[in-house]
Amino acid sequence: MKGLLRNILPPPQWRLPVTILLGIFTGMGCYVFVISNAASYLSDKPETCMNCHVMTPQYASWLHSSHRRVANCNDCHVPHNNVVNKYFFKAKDGLRHSLWFTFRLEPQVIRIKSAGQKVVKDNCIRCHQPLLIDPEMQAVIKSDYYRNRVGRQCWECHRETPHGTVTSLSANPNAQVPTLSPVPSWLIKMMNEQKTKP
């Protein structure tokens, strides 16, 4: 243990610059954490998904759909079979999204990937199971009842649920969407006071 520490610790004459550099590194890390609203990614708030403005059409169409009453983004787009899987999938999907977004690789029309499709479909079934599966029928028709009922993708028929078919990046130019600002409220207040001062 001591040997390891000795290996990492810089020689005395290097300690000051290294401490400063590490301080810059940590501070920059904290800054990135704050301005990217990183903590918000642990929540289920739809505002979190709006951290990237390319999600505006998805948010706006959800807000105008009947699903807004019962489900937020995460209810459909992350798995809910267990909490570990939920955050694993969220982290995996989120990291990919942030990579694309940072390098401006987002396509004009964002389409769901097959892993996401599976999650969404499972979640359709999770809520709508009583509509889909009739236990009595299932008992009688043993062979392929379940597969017939849930085999297809729900949106093969329910094409407009809930985001509709018009979802390009420029589909909702004037949608009013909420934003999570990384600027703390007291600072905004202070800035507004400054502005109104003669």
Partner 1 sequence: MDTIKKRKPWFYWMLFIATAVIVFLLGMLAASITNRRAEKEYVYKPMIELKQGEPRNAEWGKNFPREYQSYLQTADTSFRSKYNGSAAIDMLEEDPRLVILWAGYAFSKDYSQGRGHYHAVDDIRNTLRTGAPMNGTPGPQPNTCWTCKSPDVVRLLGQMSPEEFYKGAWETRGPEIVNPIGCADCHDPQTMNLVITRPALIEAFKRQGKDIAGATHQEMRSLVCAQCHVEYYFDKHKTEGVSCLTFPWDKGFSADDIEKYYDSLNFSDWTHALSKAPMIKAQHPEYETSQMGIHARRGVACADCHMPYKSEGGQKFTDHHIQSPLNNIANSCQVCHREEESELIADVYERQDKIIESRNKLEVLLVRAHVEAKKAWELGATDEEMKDILSDIRRAQWRWDFSAASHGASFHAPIEISRIIADGIVCAGNARTRLAGLLEQKGVRSEIPYPDISTKAKAQQYIGLDMARLNAEKAEFKKVVIPEWIKQAAVRESKY
Q: Which range in 112-120, 128-136, 138-146, 163-171 contacts partner 1 by CB under 8 A?
A: 163-171
* Residue from 41, 45, 64, 150 in contact with partner 1 (CB under 8 A): 64
* Residue from 58, 61, 74, 123 in contact with partner 1 (CB under 8 A): 61
Residue corresponding to tokens 């169409």: 61
72 binds partner 1 (CB under 8 A): no
178 binds partner 1 (CB under 8 A): yes
Calpha distance 90→97 (Å, rounded) = 10
Q: Which is nearer to partner 1, 107 or 118 (CB)?
A: 107
Q: Which range in 27-35, 74-82, 124-132, 189-197 contacts partner 1 by CB under 8 A?
A: 27-35
Residue corresponding to tokens 């009947």: 66
Q: Which range in 16-24, 73-81, 126-134, 190-198 contacts partner 1 by CB under 8 A?
A: 16-24
28 binds partner 1 (CB under 8 A): yes
| Contacts within 8 Å (CB) and 24+ apart, 41-49 | 41/90, 41/94, 42/87, 44/72, 44/73, 44/74, 44/75, 45/72, 45/180, 46/72, 46/73, 46/178, 47/178, 47/179, 47/180, 48/73, 48/180, 49/73
